[in-house]
């Protein structure tokens, strides 16, 4: 069974940073979430819905 490559740079994975190859790739992925580079499908929440969640 072959291991999947790092989803960011396609280098071999490192178990320490799984599923990434390094802390750099792990941090790049996290930055994508913070910077709205990734998203979850669906309609945007209204301000009222966001206030109700807290």
At residue 50, the 3 state secondary structure works out as helix
Per-residue confidence (pLDDT) for residue 24, from 0 to 100: 97
Please tell me whether the overall predicted TM-score, pTM, comes out greater than 0.85 for this model: no
Asked if residue 33 belongs to a known ligand binding site, the reply is no
Per-residue confidence (pLDDT) for residue 36, from 0 to 100: 80
pLDDT < 50 stretches in the chain: none
Per-residue confidence (pLDDT) for residue 28, from 0 to 100: 96
Per-residue confidence (pLDDT) for residue 54, from 0 to 100: 62
Per-residue confidence (pLDDT) for residue 2, from 0 to 100: 62
Asked if residue 21 belongs to a known ligand binding site, the reply is yes
Per-residue confidence (pLDDT) for residue 29, from 0 to 100: 96
Asked if residue 41 belongs to a known ligand binding site, the reply is no
Asked if residue 9 belongs to a known ligand binding site, the reply is yes
Per-residue confidence (pLDDT) for residue 14, from 0 to 100: 95
DSSP string, the chain: -PPPBPTTT-PBP-GGGTTSSSHHHHHHHHHHHHTTSS--SSPPPPHHHHHHH-
């Amino acid at each position: 069974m072959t291991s999947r490559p790092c989803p960011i740079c396609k280098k071999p994975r490192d178990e320490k940073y799984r599923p990434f190859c390094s802390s750099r790739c792990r941090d790049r992925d996290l930055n994508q979430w913070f910077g709205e580079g990734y998203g979850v499908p669906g309609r945007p929440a209204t301000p009222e819905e966001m206030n109700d969640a807290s």
